[in-house]
Structure 1
Amino acid sequence: MDPTLSQTKTFQQNVLVMRHGDRLDHADPTWEKTSDRPWDPPLHQDGLSRAFQTGRAFRTLLPFPIHRVFVSPFLRCVQTASEVVTALCAVVDDPNAKSSHDVVSIDSSKVKVSIEYGLFERLNSSVITVDTIPKDGNFRFDVPKIESLLPSGTLDRTVEPVYKEMPQWEEATVDTRSRQEHTIKALADKYPSDNLLLVTHWDGVLVSVSSFKEDTSVTDIAYCGYSEMRRPVSLKNQTFAAGNFEMLTESGRTGITYNAK
């Protein structure tokens, strides 16, 4: 028996919950008129650049590495994750690079990425206008096509998602936020020895603050705004015990503003 298995290891687990970058349809309202998926916009060029620069900031400023990235299947989230992961994995950190197109090569062993339906957008008419939803009500996602947008070698298909199916149309807001909170906790518990980045939507970031920092009301979340949480973890005999998450995000920093209730 490996004697190291009986030893207790203690460390800090870090979890970042991030909003996607700038949407094309918000910069160009005419885009949706010619799109066959008007409810699933891509990033604007500014969004691609913002996501890449945020990934670079993670790489250079965070005092810990990111091991795993989980992402909502919406195009704007997958593109955001792709830019962030490319910046994290770039072999040469070119200060002149503005997006993933400027990166020559990456080390794909640094970060692994998986699609997670639990990070899905709030699927109701309060955020997705009825005139843009699929006429048959089926929000189809071509998962292999989505996965092909991620940096080569970073996709981990062995991961079993927390939610295997997308929510139903007109999901109540309270149910969306309950789902997001459950997903954050479940992913952290599933990978207690990894630092995680979850790329999601407004609600996911809001929940990460309001659920893990008492008596707060989130008022604004910028594109690529993110929260940062940390908790102590003890690992022994392949079982773990974890403390409560501490919310490290201060209002006005990392693109999130909130008020005390």
Structure 2
Amino acid sequence: MRHGHRLDNFDPDWAAKAARPWDPPLFKDGMVRAFQTGQRIGSQTGFPIHRIFVSPFLRCIQTASQVVAALSSLPNAMSSIDKTKLKVAIEDGLCEMMNSVAIWPEVSPIDGKFDFNISDLEAMFPEGMVDHNVDPIYKEIPQWGESKEKCRERYVKVVKTLADKYPTENLLLITHGEGLVTTFSNFYKDTTVLEVDYCAYVQLRREVSSKDGSVVETGEYEVSQSGIRFSHDPVTIQTPI
């Protein structure tokens, strides 16, 4: 899932006075849309969500927080989660593409160092929901100057590794626009993504068979999406970040 509407796209003066201009929060409409998308995921997907993995950027953390609130607000008969068992973890591998294409040079740190107060970010979720026992796929965010190719390799690695690490659980990954472009085009072949809406999401489903509690076989992914416009023609159009 992509994060909601970011504030700096609606307030052009925000970055000039912000302490962390490279890490904008959600715009108020982004909060609303994230909550509404969480309700839709919870009531319409038809299967329980066990874990949420989220990029450390504030707009993604706030999106995840709104999704959690939405899922928790649904009546038990409509909800697709066990509210007592849902777990959240921050995954650096889901972070923004770390270059000047995604983060404007005029707002990026001069020294190329991006700092995140993980304890403050984790505090945005209900007590006991953050799973500190999760071993992250990436121990830190990539260094500044990451190429688009390396970024796309990173997103695919995170999706595949988490799916294989938790084969019997349903996961919700909250990330950035390039993450949706990469995931959709990688698993839905021969397509070119034209645009990704805020709070768009890609749904990957596969059959998993097990024996004596161990996974013995996984099927091919079935892909569906919401909020992504794409073409089967060989065109290249940049998606908004």
Match of 2:212 in 1: 237
Instruction: Give the deviation of 1:151 after TM superposition.
Output: 2.7
Match of 1:69 in 2: 52
Secondary structure of 1:131's counterpart equals coil
Match of 1:9 in 2: none
Instruction: Give the deviation of 1:127 after TM superposition.
Output: 1.3
Question: 1:201-242 deviations in whole A, cap 9, x for unaligned?
Answer: 011111111100110000011000001111010122343121
Instruction: Give the deviation of 1:62 after TM superposition.
Output: 1.4
Pick from 19, 28, 36 the counterpart of residue 2 of structure 2: 19
Secondary structure of 1:164's counterpart equals coil
Indicate if the aligned counterparts of 1:51 and 1:80 stay in contact, CA closer than 8 A: yes
Instruction: Give the deviation of 1:58 after TM superposition.
Output: 1.2
Match of 1:247 in 2: 223
Secondary structure of 1:29's counterpart equals coil
Indicate if the aligned counterparts of 2:92 and 2:138 stay in contact, CA closer than 8 A: yes
Pick from 128, 139, 153 the counterpart of residue 178 of structure 1: 153
Query: Is 1:256 aligned to 2:228, yes or no?
Result: yes
Match of 1:137 in 2: 112
Question: 1:152-203 deviations in whole A, cap 9, x for unaligned?
Answer: 3321111111111110101000000000001000000010011111000011
Pick from 44, 47, 58 the counterpart of residue 30 of structure 2: 47
Query: Is 1:38 aligned to 2:21, yes or no?
Result: yes
Cα separation, 2, equivalents of 1:30 and 1:126: 20
Secondary structure of 1:256's counterpart equals strand
Cα separation, 1, equivalents of 2:85 and 2:42: 11
Indicate if the aligned counterparts of 1:108 and 1:153 stay in contact, CA closer than 8 A: no
Indicate if the aligned counterparts of 2:55 and 2:94 stay in contact, CA closer than 8 A: yes
Cα separation, 2, equivalents of 1:156 and 1:67: 12
Structure showing greater radius of gyration is: 1
Question: 1:88-142 deviations in whole A, cap 9, x for unaligned?
Answer: 122658xxxxxxxxxxxx9741421100011010000011111111122210011
1:88-237 correspondence to structure 2 within 5 Å? 88-90=71-73, 108-237=83-212
Q: Report percent identity of matched pairs.
A: 48
Structure 2 residue runs of 5 or longer lacking an equivalent are 234-241
Indicate if the aligned counterparts of 1:21 and 1:223 stay in contact, CA closer than 8 A: yes
Indicate if the aligned counterparts of 2:39 and 2:74 stay in contact, CA closer than 8 A: no
Indicate if the aligned counterparts of 1:90 and 1:107 stay in contact, CA closer than 8 A: no
Cα separation, 2, equivalents of 1:91 and 1:52: 11
RCO (CA 8 Å, sep 6+): is it higher in 1 or 2? Answer: 1
Cα separation, 2, equivalents of 1:218 and 1:91: 32
Structure 1 residue runs of 5 or longer lacking an equivalent are 1-17, 94-105
- Aligned Cα RMSD in Å? 1.6
Equivalent residue pairs, number: 228
Cα separation, 2, equivalents of 1:219 and 1:51: 22
Secondary structure of 1:77's counterpart equals helix
Cα separation, 2, equivalents of 1:22 and 1:110: 29
Indicate if the aligned counterparts of 2:206 and 2:218 stay in contact, CA closer than 8 A: yes
Instruction: Give the deviation of 1:85 after TM superposition.
Output: 1.0
Q: Counterpart amino acid of 1:163?
A: Y
Indicate if the aligned counterparts of 2:48 and 2:82 stay in contact, CA closer than 8 A: no
Pick from 42, 65, 68 the counterpart of residue 59 of structure 1: 42
Cα separation, 2, equivalents of 1:175 and 1:119: 13
